[in-house]
Chain A
Amino acid sequence: MSNGTKTLLAIIVILILVWIGYAIVKSSPGEAPTTATSTEALKIGVILPLTGDAATYGEPGRNLFALALDEVNAAGGVNGQMLEFIYEDGKCNGPVAASAAQKLVAIDKVQIIIGGFCSSESLASIPVAESAKVAMFSPGSSSPDLTGRSMYFFRNYPSDASQGKILAEAAFNDKKWKTVAMLQEQTDFALGIRKVFETRFVELGGKIITEEFPSTASDFRSQLSKLRAAKPDALFLSLQTFAPTEKILKQLSDQKWAPNLLLSDVATSEELRTSRASQLEGALTAEFNTDPSNPKFSQMTSAYKAKYGVDVPYQGYAQTEYDAVYMVRDGLLAVGNSGEKFAAWGRTIKDWPGASGVITIGPDGDRAAGHVVKVIKAGKLENYSAVSATATSSPVVQ
């Protein structure tokens, strides 16, 4: 090592020492910790897909969180203390979301995480949160596998158990479809819906033929040919994102196959419904209901429009995301910033009035309420009345 390098190294070492010393001196003045926390914002973690195919949901989700956060802080936050959200990208992918949770828990030291949005994000991050006694509160994950998964997890978005079940009942009892072909994307969400649908449909006496595909697939032609050859009464597309939905619908029309369609709620964005209106005419889908006559809901939609200049997309998710922020505030007011207490408090929520209707969370962490069957007519979602009336009682017709 030359003399020049030695001097340079020495200078660097001295600079680092001075900087560390300065940092210690600066932080040491003995201010009372209570005043320190009340001026500093209270950090809450948020995990949602900000990039990748599911960013279609994550972008408006972040807007909604920011909107509700501004409202909560403008109204005085939690006992005068402001809230701050730390957004992490879960990419709708388990391992990515788990490391995002790891970062929120270890570096930002949050006690509460809102998220994940995708079921795969929640399933993978729960163990991380659980071991650190941090609460996870999801406004979008709907996989039935999450029911009763952990004492640290709860959600204000209903489980897909209700979605798969009512679609199976509508298909078998009402439409009299006996054989349904299922094309399922290999994600936790799509698998969850498939499992519930399959169980109920087979229980009723129906038959299912299934094909699966990885999310990266783009050529579905031979899978569609196979399913078509089985002469099903309807085709169920259990998908997670927009890209495969668009690809599959195009390849269906390329093969001149126009089956009766069943779709999970994510495959029914307005963009898709208008661009493929004729192909989707009469398709059955389920949606977690939105109620524009609810004043909280209409306040959310008008505030969103005023702030971002566009209508709220994916309103089924928007309403629970908006509610989640207010529920976090109420939880903090009730039990303070403790993951353990917040998660326990979540299970006691009863008749909480929100934009998504009246919310009650059960002891298993699930929201007690569900989806309703919708039918697509001229590009619009309409209530499928014949079934929604009988869906709750669900007698087996046989």
Chain B
Amino acid sequence: MSIIPQLIVNSIIAGAIYTLVALGFNLIYSTTKFFNLAHGAMAVVGGYVVFSLTRQLDFSLWLSIPVAILVAGVIGVLSDLLLFRKLRERKASSMILLVASLGLFTAIQAMIAILFTSQFQTLTTGASISTVYDVFGGAITQTQVVILATGLLIMAGIGLMLKYTKLGKAIQAVGDDEEVAKIVGIDTNKVIAIVFFIGSAIAGVAGLLVGFDTGLEPTMGLALLLKGIVAAIVGGVGSLYGGVLGAFLLGFVENFGIWHLSGEWKDAIAFVLLILFLIFRPQGIVKK
């Protein structure tokens, strides 16, 4: 049996997960122009809301998932209203915003660890065997297919929204120049709040899907976020489609990189890719 089909499938699965993180991250970055590290915490929130509702309170899955997405989105908006907006009003630099978001990330992660303990949790029950499909000799589970489909759907959804809706145009206008957008009559604070809601909700989707695929830990946010950011930078920071390309490139390079190297080099390979891009093509694959 050749190993290649499974490696391709593994790369696609990894790419799909990174896509979900990179999409929301890029959306928030392109409008607010700062690295929102708290984005990783929103993913953890999404996962743990589903865990708490289904495993602790016996809610149905179909109710828990939308609630989790909503909660992640609302916490994202609150982070903007209570923290980032106040800093923006004081003309804080993007470095200060980054540090503030790191603080928020750590605080949320610690709160989740206190509420749910730092133990590893699974959303699926151990006994249930997930449906597995065979793709040219590589195995992929139902959850992973859902992750891939969700990533592509969200990408298409955001793409259409940015291009064809009034809100999408307003978001782009704020991203191009916040001051000018204000002058032409756009309520920039409102637009940014909406962007935080959408971006954080997507992070929530990412977190709960990872919860179904792998499992939940309060500390999983950082690893997810780092890979998402690498994907975003490699693809072109702030670019919607670039982020998706970057995510899949990263997935393929990581998984094929360890074909002949030992597996513990995976993270090193990811960051070598990042460094190569920063040196030779800092604008990323797709220049915004």
Binding site for B on A (CB under 8 A): 51-53, 55-56, 186, 210-214, 216-223, 225-226, 228-229, 242-243, 246-247, 250-251, 253-256, 272, 275-278
Provided the pairs A219-B214, A243-B215, A275-B127 are in contact, do residues A255 and B122 lie with their beta carbons within 8 angstroms? no
B259 and A226 within 8 A (CB): yes
Chain B residues positioned under 8 Å from A55 (CB to CB): 117-119
C-alpha spacing A255/B10, complex, angstroms: 10
A254 and B125 within 8 A (CB): no
B1 at the A interface (CB under 8 A): yes
C-alpha spacing A220/B254, complex, angstroms: 12
- Show 14 residue pairs from A and B whose CB-CB distance is below 8 angstroms, ordered by the A residue: A55-B118, A211-B264, A216-B223, A218-B223, A221-B14, A222-B6, A222-B255, A222-B266, A226-B259, A228-B6, A253-B129, A254-B139, A254-B144, A275-B126
Shortest distance from the beta carbon of A25 to any chain B beta carbon, whole Å: 43
B59 at the A interface (CB under 8 A): no
The one of B125, B258, B264 that contacts A214, using a Cβ cutoff of 8 Å? B264
Binding site for A on B (CB under 8 A): 1-3, 6-7, 10-11, 13-14, 117-120, 122, 124-127, 129-130, 132, 139, 141, 144, 214-215, 217, 219-220, 223, 254-255, 258-259, 262-264, 266-267
B120 and A53 within 8 A (CB): yes
Q: Closest 5 interchain pairs by CB? A: A275-B126, A243-B120, A223-B263, A229-B3, A221-B10
B118 and A250 within 8 A (CB): no
Residue of A nearest to B267 (CB): A214
Chain B residues positioned under 8 Å from A211 (CB to CB): 262-264
B264 and A254 within 8 A (CB): no
Provided the pairs A226-B3, A276-B126 are in contact, do residues A247 and B13 lie with their beta carbons within 8 angstroms? no
C-alpha spacing A243/B218, complex, angstroms: 12
Provided the pairs A219-B14, A222-B258, A229-B1 are in contact, do residues A246 and B215 lie with their beta carbons within 8 angstroms? yes
Provided the pairs A53-B120, A55-B118, A254-B139 are in contact, do residues A218 and B10 lie with their beta carbons within 8 angstroms? no
In this complex, which of B119, B223, B258 has the most chain A Cβ atoms within 10 angstroms of its Cβ? B119
A212 and B263 within 8 A (CB): yes
Known: A225-B3, A254-B141. 5 other contacts (CB 8 A): A213-B263, A214-B264, A218-B220, A243-B120, A277-B127
Provided the pairs A52-B118, A242-B120, A254-B130 are in contact, do residues A213 and B214 lie with their beta carbons within 8 angstroms? no
C-alpha spacing A277/B125, complex, angstroms: 13
Provided the pairs A229-B3, A254-B141 are in contact, do residues A223 and B119 lie with their beta carbons within 8 angstroms? no
Residue of B nearest to A211 (CB): B263
A53 and B264 within 8 A (CB): no
Chain B residues positioned under 8 Å from A225 (CB to CB): 3, 6-7, 10
A242 and B3 within 8 A (CB): no
C-alpha spacing A388/B139, complex, angstroms: 38
A212 and B264 within 8 A (CB): yes
Chain B residues positioned under 8 Å from A218 (CB to CB): 214-215, 220, 223
Residue of B nearest to A275 (CB): B126
The one of B13, B117, B129, B267 that contacts A221, using a Cβ cutoff of 8 Å? B13
A250 and B120 within 8 A (CB): no
A250 and B214 within 8 A (CB): yes
C-alpha spacing A220/B13, complex, angstroms: 12
A213 and B10 within 8 A (CB): no
Residue of B nearest to A227 (CB): B263
Chain B residues positioned under 8 Å from A223 (CB to CB): 258, 263
B118 and A275 within 8 A (CB): no
C-alpha spacing A55/B114, complex, angstroms: 13
C-alpha spacing A371/B258, complex, angstroms: 35
Residue of A nearest to B144 (CB): A254
Provided the pairs A213-B264, A255-B139 are in contact, do residues A53 and B258 lie with their beta carbons within 8 angstroms? no
C-alpha spacing A211/B266, complex, angstroms: 12
C-alpha spacing A226/B119, complex, angstroms: 29
Residue of B nearest to A231 (CB): B1
B132 and A254 within 8 A (CB): yes
Residue of A nearest to B223 (CB): A216
Chain A residues positioned under 8 Å from B13 (CB to CB): 221
C-alpha spacing A337/B90, complex, angstroms: 61
Chain A residues positioned under 8 Å from B14 (CB to CB): 219, 221
Shortest distance from the beta carbon of B47 to any chain A beta carbon, whole Å: 12
